[in-house]
């Protein structure tokens, strides 16, 4: 989520967005406005001609580039279903599966599986490359409304029509979607003993290591609520509620608390926190699971809660650490 404050003499809304982010074409901002993904002073605005006044607060996610050029083909990939009807498909994403095609992943993705579910190939437009590991709105890809890191397991919501996709994305923008994760982390005195801790720290890309994100002044606002469910002297089971959706947000915020996720080579591996507990022998990827997802149905308004069971490897690692699980 970005927040902009209009100054004196601010132009119409679409021009203001382009001026603030000249690297993003006007046509992409227009599509973002049409989809209802821009708010001014808390109210959704869909008209680019809306005149801003000094002090107006503009809130939005940065538009994602449309999907890469080519022809996306359906693939018969069997994925665990947590909820499905004619509008939504909520799956339990397995570890190692990429959500959409990109460099090194021409197929075998969640998007390819969705297209098979819909029984239709989809032609897509030319685009820039976007990071595959980002917990962000994903408007440029068929059906995607958010993303999970490649090795993160659990709840992933997919829309079956463009209208459904926009409706769910609007909920993400309004922060009415509830996303709760479970993670196994190293024990840290910075973790709360009782109750929850709100980590409100901005996140930006690392200046020298472009694969990593860091807590940094001037970064994009990021909020994660963290609650300790169980602990030992060396490890803890924590629940993380995402209040915003930034790339690697949970991993970065936990590392910031000196409680990196077990098995995370990017934020908690050798050279930073040594693998002294041997967690990567049991679970060779970050022990992070998208446990619960609650969203309003795009047509009925009914609240839908999907719960993804913990993977066996996650359970095995928790047992080896002496931690109970939910």
Residue at a domain's end among 173, 203, 225 = 173
Taking the C-alpha atoms of residue 192 and residue 254, their distance in angstroms, rounded to an integer, is 12
- For residue 144, what are its two tokens? 């995607």
**What digits encode the pLDDT tens for the residues 70-86?**
567 889 999 999 999 99
Taking the C-alpha atoms of residue 5 and residue 272, their distance in angstroms, rounded to an integer, is 38
Comparing 16-20, 139-143, 250-254, the range with the smallest average pLDDT is 139-143
Supply the CATH number for residue 128's domain. Answer: 3.30.2350.10
State the DSSP code for 45: -
Q: Does residue 257 belong to any structural domain of this protein? A: yes
What is the average per-residue pLDDT within 89-94?
Answer: 97
Residues 141 and 245 in one domain: no
Residues 207 and 143 in one domain: no
Residues 233 and 168 in one domain: no
144: left (phi over 0), alpha (psi -120 to 50) or beta: beta
What is the average per-residue pLDDT within 279-286?
Answer: 74
Residue at a domain's end among 121, 150, 173 = 173
Taking the C-alpha atoms of residue 69 and residue 127, their distance in angstroms, rounded to an integer, is 6
Domain holding 42, by residue range, is: 2-60
pLDDT value at 94 more than 70: yes
State the DSSP code for 180: E
Residues 233 and 281 in one domain: yes
Residues 220 and 309 in one domain: yes
Nearest 10 degrees: Cα torsion 82, 83, 89, 95: -10
What is the average per-residue pLDDT within 77-105?
Answer: 90
Closest CA to 296 of 186, 188, 140, 145: 145
Residues 150 and 204 in one domain: no
Residues 92 and 126 in one domain: yes
**What digits encode the pLDDT tens for the residues 30-79?**
888 887 788 888 788 888 888 888 888 888 877 765 555 456 788 999 99
Q: Are 91 and 99 in contact (CB under 8 A)?
A: no
What is the average per-residue pLDDT within 232-242?
Answer: 94
Residues 211 and 288 in one domain: yes
Closest CA to 62 of 32, 39, 41, 36: 32
Q: Does residue 222 belong to any structural domain of this protein? A: yes
Q: Does residue 214 belong to any structural domain of this protein? A: yes
Residues 56 and 95 in one domain: no
Taking the C-alpha atoms of residue 265 and residue 168, their distance in angstroms, rounded to an integer, is 32
Lookup result for tokens 């001609």: 49
Supply the CATH number for residue 13's domain. Answer: 3.10.290.10
Give 288's contacts (C-beta < 8 A, 6+ positions apart): 149, 151, 152, 153, 181, 182, 183, 250, 251, 261, 264
Q: Does residue 23 belong to any structural domain of this protein? A: yes
Any idea which residues carry the catalytic annotation? 149
Number of domain units in the chain? 3
**What digits encode the pLDDT tens for the residues 126-178?**
333 333 333 444 546 788 889 898 899 999 999 999 899 989 989 988 889 99
């Amino acid at each position: 989520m970005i927040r902009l404050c209009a100054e004196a003499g601010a132009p119409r809304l679409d021009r203001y967005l382009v001026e603030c982010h000249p690297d993003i074409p006007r046509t992409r901002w227009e599509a973002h406005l049409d989809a209802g993904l821009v708010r001014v002073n808390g109210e959704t605005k869909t008209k680019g001609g809306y005149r801003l006044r000094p002090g107006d607060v503009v809130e939005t996610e940065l538009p994602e580039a449309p999907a890469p050029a080519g022809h996306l083909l359906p693939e018969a990939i069997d994925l665990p279903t947590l909820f499905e009807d004619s509008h939504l498909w909520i799956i339990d994403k397995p570890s190692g599966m990429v959500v959409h095609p990109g460099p090194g992943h021409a197929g075998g993705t969640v998007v390819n599986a969705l297209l098979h579910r819909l029984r239709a190939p989809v032609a897509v437009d030319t685009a820039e490359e976007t990071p595959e590991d980002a917990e962000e709105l994903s408007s440029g890809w068929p059906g995607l409304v958010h993303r999970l890191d490649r090795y993160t397991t659990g709840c992933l919501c997919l829309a079956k029509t463009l209208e459904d996709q926009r409706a769910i994305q609007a909920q993400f923008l309004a922060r009415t979607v509830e996303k709760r994760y479970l993670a196994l982390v190293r024990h840290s005195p910075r973790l709360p003993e009782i109750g929850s801790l709100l980590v409100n720290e901005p996140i930006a890309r690392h200046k020298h290591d472009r694969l990593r994100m860091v807590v940094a002044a001037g970064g994009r606002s990021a909020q994660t609520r963290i609650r300790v469910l169980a602990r030992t002297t060396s490890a803890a089971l924590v629940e993380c509620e995402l209040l915003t959706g930034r790339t690697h947000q949970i991993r970065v915020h936990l590392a910031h608390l000196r409680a990196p996720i077990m098995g995370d080579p990017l934020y908690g591996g050798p050279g930073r926190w040594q693998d002294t507990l041997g967690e990567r022998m049991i679970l060779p990827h970050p022990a992070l699971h998208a446990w619960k997802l609650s969203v309003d149905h795009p047509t009925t308004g009914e609240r839908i809660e999907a719960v993804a069971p913990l993977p066996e490897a996650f359970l095995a690692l928790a047992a080896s650490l002496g931690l109970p699980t939910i």
